[in-house]
C-alpha cells in the first residue's frame, strides 16, 4: 500500500488567506450597496386597483422565478462539487484544505436550498391569507439568505476548482 504525503506551502496558505480577505471586503461592499439601495425612500403615486393587482402578480412571478433559479443553480452546484470529488485525479488524495473547501461550498449550497424552501413556505403562508409582499421580513430575510449563501458557495467552489487545477499543474511540472 502506497501512502502519499500532502504538503501545503505557506505561500499557498497565505494566498488563500489573501483571497478570502479580499472576498470579505467585496462581500462587505456588495452588502453595503444592497443596504443603501434597499433603504432609499420610495415615494410613488398609488396606482388604480386593477394596475395594483397586476403589479402584485408580477411581483409574485418575479420572486418565484428568482427563487426557482437559485434553487436550480444551487442543486447544479452540489452536483458539480460531487463531480469534482468523484472525477478528480485518483493518484493524488485531496488535501485537507481542499476537502474543507468542498465541504464548505456544499454546506453553503445546502443552506441556500434551505432558505429557498423557507421562502416558499413563507410565500405560501402569505398567499393563504390573500396577500403577497416580497419586502415583509418573513420573506425578505430568507430570500436574502438564499442569495448570499449561494454566492458564498460559488466563490468557495471557484476557489476549490482553481486550487485543484493549480495543484494538478504543480504535480505535473
Angle at 27 between CA 15 and CA 155, to 5 degrees: 55
Residue 22 covered by a domain: no
Residue 165 covered by a domain: yes
Contact 59, 134 (CB under 8 A): yes
Residue 59 covered by a domain: yes
Residue 29 covered by a domain: no
- Quick one: pLDDT at residue 143? 94
pLDDT band, very low/low/confident/very high, at 6 (cuts 50, 70, 90): very low
Q: CA separation (Å) from 149 to 31, 52, 154?
A: 13, 32, 9
pLDDT band, very low/low/confident/very high, at 169 (cuts 50, 70, 90): low
Q: Looking at the whole model, is its pTM more than 0.85? A: no
Share of the chain above pLDDT 70, in %: 88
Residue 161 covered by a domain: yes
- Quick one: pLDDT at residue 5? 46
Give how many domains the chain has, as a whole number. Answer: 1
- Quick one: pLDDT at residue 10? 52
Contact 101, 156 (CB under 8 A): yes
Please say if the pLDDT value at position 53 is more than 70.
yes
Range(s) of the domain holding residue 88: 49-172
Residue 19 covered by a domain: no
pLDDT band, very low/low/confident/very high, at 13 (cuts 50, 70, 90): low
Residue 166 covered by a domain: yes
Please say if the pLDDT value at position 4 is more than 50.
no
- Quick one: pLDDT at residue 144? 93
- Quick one: pLDDT at residue 148? 93
> Which residue is listed with cell 443596504?
35
Contact 156, 99 (CB under 8 A): no
Residue 58 covered by a domain: yes
Tens digit of each residue's pLDDT (9 = 90 or more) over 61-113: 999 999 999 999 999 999 999 998 888 777 777 888 888 899 999 999 999 99
Amino acid at each position: 500500500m502506497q501512502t502519499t504525503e500532502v504538503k501545503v506551502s505557506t505561500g499557498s496558505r497565505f494566498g488563500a488567506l489573501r483571497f478570502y480577505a479580499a472576498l470579505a471586503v467585496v462581500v462587505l461592499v456588495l452588502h453595503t450597496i444592497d443596504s443603501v439601495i434597499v433603504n432609499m425612500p420610495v415615494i410613488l403615486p398609488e396606482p388604480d386597483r386593477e394596475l395594483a393587482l397586476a403589479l402584485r402578480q408580477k411581483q409574485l412571478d418575479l420572486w418565484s422565478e428568482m427563487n426557482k433559479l437559485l434553487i436550480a443553480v444551487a442543486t447544479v452546484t452540489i452536483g458539480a462539487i460531487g463531480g469534482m470529488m468523484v472525477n478528480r485525479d485518483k493518484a493524488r488524495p485531496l488535501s485537507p484544505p481542499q476537502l474543507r473547501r468542498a465541504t464548505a461550498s456544499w454546506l453553503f449550497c445546502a443552506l441556500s436550498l434551505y432558505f429557498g424552501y423557507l421562502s416558499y413556505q413563507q410565500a405560501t403562508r402569505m398567499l393563504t391569507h390573500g396577500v403577497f409582499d416580497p419586502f415583509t421580513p418573513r420573506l425578505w430575510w430568507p430570500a436574502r439568505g438564499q442569495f448570499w449563501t449561494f454566492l458564498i458557495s460559488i466563490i468557495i467552489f471557484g476557489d476549490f476548482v482553481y486550487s485543484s487545477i493549480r495543484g494538478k499543474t504543480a504535480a505535473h511540472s
